[in-house]
């Protein structure tokens, strides 16, 4: 695991709201599907949390440019009075040939994946997909560019990987960290909490 050259500022990390493909248990990766009505409500709830929790000092909001994350950032940002900026390094893990397939289809074709100890790490074995070291390098570079308190709007695996890096944990610990849509993951001075 790489070490960061400078301290990471205070972060509020959001996963996008629920999507149509989340409902269908279909992997999105770098593809996209729209937020459901529930997903839009989750984004509004995240905005309420941010409005309540953010300091009075300036806070930057960066979002994955993927439609589902950008829509979440737009909704949450409007409630919290923040304007999101696109950050390509916040995209979801690239799933190569598995993007757009359902979890059931992938597990039927690759039954060995159902035996994986971690329900997220198998996603890094997708043919033509992003590697664990690739996502680490990408997110490490992003974290080192941050200049002050920042809201990051991203995706499920990317959120967990970000939090592992900030907390000094190995990326193999992805699933030991809590997930969730409609919540905000707050990290300050190496201490993480989930705000609902």
Neighbouring C-alpha atoms within 13 Å toward the C-beta of 28: 24
124 and 174 in contact (C-beta within 8 Å)?
no
Distance CA 71, CA 75 (A): 6
DSSP state at residue 32: -
Distance CA 123, CA 159 (A): 14
Distance CA 168, CA 163 (A): 8
Residue 171 in tokens: 């990326």
Q: What is the per-residue pLDDT for 2?
A: 56
When divided into structural domains, the chain yields a total of: 1
Q: What is the per-residue pLDDT for 116?
A: 66
90 falls within a domain: yes
Query: What's the pLDDT tens digit per position in 97-106?
Result: 999 999 899 9
Q: Alpha-carbon dihedral of residues 23, 27, 29, 32, nearest 10 degrees?
A: -40
87 falls within a domain: yes
Q: What is the pTM of this model?
A: 0.94
54 falls within a domain: yes
Q: What is the per-residue pLDDT for 112?
A: 82
94 falls within a domain: yes
Q: What is the per-residue pLDDT for 119?
A: 75
Tell me whether strands 84-86 and 60-63 are parallel, antiparallel or unpaired.
Answer: parallel
* Residue spans of the chain under pLDDT 70: 1-5, 115-117
85 falls within a domain: yes
- Domain CATH for 145: 3.40.50.1240
Q: What is the per-residue pLDDT for 113?
A: 80
Residue found under tokens 């409007």? 78
Residue 160 lies in domain: 11-195
6 falls within a domain: no
Helix extents (H) in 112-155? 132-145
């Amino acid at each position: 695991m790489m070490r960061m050259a400078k301290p990471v500022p205070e972060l509020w990390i959001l996963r996008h709201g629920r999507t149509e493909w989340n409902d269908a248990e279909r992997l999105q990766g770098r593809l996209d599907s729209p937020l459901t009505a529930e997903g839009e409500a989750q984004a509004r709830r995240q905005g309420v949390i941010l409005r309540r929790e953010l300091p009075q000092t300036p806070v930057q909001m960066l979002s994955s440019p993927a439609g589902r994350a950008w829509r979440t950032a737009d909704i949450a940002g409007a409630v919290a009075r923040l304007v999101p900026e696109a950050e390509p390094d916040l995209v979801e893990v690239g799933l190569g040939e598995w993007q757009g397939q359902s979890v059931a289809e992938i597990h039927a074709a690759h039954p060995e994946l159902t035996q994986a100890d971690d329900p997220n790490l198998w996603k890094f074995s997708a043919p033509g997909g992003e590697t664990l070291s690739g996502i680490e390098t990408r997110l490490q570079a992003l974290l080192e560019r941050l200049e002050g308190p920042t809201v990051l709007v991203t995706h499920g695996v990317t959120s967990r990987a970000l939090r592992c890096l900030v907390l000094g944990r190995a990326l193999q610990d992805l699933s030991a960290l809590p997930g969730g849509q409609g919540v905000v993951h707050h990290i300050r001075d190496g201490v993480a909490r989930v705000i609902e």
